[in-house]
A and B are shown apart, each in its own frame.
Chain A
Amino acid sequence: MTTTEIPGSPGFEIDPRALTPLADQRLDVELQSEDMVLNIGPQHPATHGTLRVVVKLDGERVVSADPVIGYMHRGYEKLTEYRTYPQVTTLINRIDWLSSFANEVPFIHAAERIMGVEAPPRAEWIRTALTELSRIATFILFLGEMGLQVGAITPAFYGFRDREHVLNLIEAVTGGRFHPNFNRIGGIKDDLPAGWINETRRVMGLMLDSCDQFEDLVAGNEIFQARTRGCGIIPADVGAAYGVSGSNLRASGVDWDLRRDGQPYLAYRELDWKVFTHPDGDTFARYWVRLQETREAIRMVLQILDGLPAGPVMAKVPRIIKVPAGEAWVNTENPLGEMGYYVISKGATGPFRVKIRTASFSNVSILPWLLKGVYVPDIVTILAGLYFILGDIDR
Chain B
Amino acid sequence: MVDEQTADEAATTEGSTSVATIDAAATAVGELRERVVADLGSAVVAHEVNHGVVTVRVSTESWRRTAEIVRSKLGFNYLSFISGIDWMPAPKVGGEEASGDTSTPAQPMDQTYGVCGSAGRFQVFAAVISLSKKTTLVLKTDVSETEPIVASWVPVYPGADWHERETWEMYGFRFDGHPGLRHLYLPGEFEGFPLRKDFPLLAREVKPWPGLVDVEPMPGVADGDEAEE
Q: How many residues of B contact A (CB 8 A)?
A: 59
Of B78, B93, B125, which is within 8 A of A241 by CB?
B78
Output the nearest chain A residue to B169 by Cβ-Cβ distance: A70
CA distance A114 to B229 in the complex (A): 31
A269 contacts B107, C-beta separation under 8 Å: no
Minimum CB–CB distance for B128 against chain A, Å? 9
- Tell yes or no: A20 within 8 A of B by CB: no
- Segment at the A interface, from B7-15, B36-44, B142-150: B7-15
Output the nearest chain B residue to A304 by Cβ-Cβ distance: B1
- Tell yes or no: B120 within 8 A of A by CB: no
Residues of A within 8 Å of B14, CB to CB, are 269-270
Residue-wise, chain A 296-340 has the 8 Å CB interface mask toward B (1 for contact) of 000000010011010000000000100001111101000000101
Question: A241-B78, A254-B131 are contacts. A348–B7 as well, Cβ < 8 Å?
Answer: no
- Tell yes or no: B27 within 8 A of A by CB: no
CA distance A261 to B194 in the complex (A): 35
Minimum CB–CB distance for B225 against chain A, Å? 14
CA distance A82 to B227 in the complex (A): 14
- Tell yes or no: A75 within 8 A of B by CB: yes
B10 contacts A327, C-beta separation under 8 Å: no
A82 contacts B204, C-beta separation under 8 Å: yes
Of B51, B103, B185, which is within 8 A of A84 by CB?
B103
Residues of A within 8 Å of B159, CB to CB, are 241-244, 362, 365-366
**Interface range for A:** 35 or more
Minimum CB–CB distance for A347 against chain B, Å? 6
CA distance A325 to B89 in the complex (A): 14
A340 contacts B81, C-beta separation under 8 Å: yes
Residues of B within 8 Å of A325, CB to CB, are 112, 114
- Tell yes or no: B46 within 8 A of A by CB: no
Minimum CB–CB distance for A288 against chain B, Å? 20
CA distance A261 to B25 in the complex (A): 11
A357-395 residues at the B interface, CB under 8 angstroms: 357, 361-362, 365-366, 369, 394
Output the nearest chain B residue to A307 by Cβ-Cβ distance: B7
- Tell yes or no: A165 within 8 A of B by CB: no
B138 contacts A329, C-beta separation under 8 Å: yes
Residues of B within 8 Å of A244, CB to CB, are 159
Question: A82-B93, A262-B134, A357-B127 are contacts. A69–B185 as well, Cβ < 8 Å?
Answer: yes
Output the nearest chain A residue to B22 by Cβ-Cβ distance: A264
A344 contacts B114, C-beta separation under 8 Å: yes
A365 contacts B83, C-beta separation under 8 Å: no
Minimum CB–CB distance for A171 against chain B, Å? 20
- Tell yes or no: A40 within 8 A of B by CB: no
CA distance A112 to B112 in the complex (A): 22
CA distance A355 to B195 in the complex (A): 11
Of B78, B114, B162, which is within 8 A of A365 by CB?
B162
B102-142 residues at the A interface, CB under 8 angstroms: 102-108, 112, 114-115, 125, 127, 131, 134, 136, 138
B105 contacts A340, C-beta separation under 8 Å: no
Output the nearest chain B residue to A306 by Cβ-Cβ distance: B1
Of A74, A82, A83, A256, which is within 8 A of B229 by CB?
A74
A331 contacts B136, C-beta separation under 8 Å: yes
A340 contacts B157, C-beta separation under 8 Å: no
Minimum CB–CB distance for B114 against chain A, Å? 5
A83 contacts B112, C-beta separation under 8 Å: no
B1 contacts A242, C-beta separation under 8 Å: no
- Tell yes or no: A237 within 8 A of B by CB: yes
CA distance A362 to B108 in the complex (A): 34
- Tell yes or no: B69 within 8 A of A by CB: no
The residue among A75, A87, A237 with the most chain B CB atoms within 10 A of its own CB is A75
Residues of B within 8 Å of A189, CB to CB, are none
Q: A331-B80, A340-B81, A349-B106 are in contact. List 17 more A-B contacts (CB 8 A).
A: A77-B170, A82-B93, A240-B78, A242-B79, A242-B158, A256-B131, A263-B136, A264-B18, A269-B18, A307-B11, A326-B51, A328-B53, A331-B127, A342-B138, A353-B85, A355-B81, A361-B162
- Give 19 A-B contacts (CB < 8 Å), ordered by A residue: A243-B159, A262-B134, A263-B52, A263-B53, A269-B14, A270-B11, A270-B14, A307-B10, A309-B11, A331-B127, A342-B83, A344-B85, A344-B114, A348-B105, A351-B105, A355-B125, A357-B127, A362-B79, A365-B159
Which residues of B does A touch, CB under 8 Å? 1-2, 7, 10-11, 14, 18, 21-22, 25, 50-53, 55, 77-81, 83, 85-86, 90, 93, 102-108, 112, 114-115, 125, 127, 131, 134, 136, 138, 157-159, 161-162, 170, 183-186, 194-195, 201, 204, 209, 211, 228-229
Q: Which 8 pairs, one residue from A and one from B, show the smallest C-beta to C-beta distance?
A: A350-B105, A242-B159, A70-B185, A261-B134, A73-B185, A243-B159, A357-B81, A240-B78
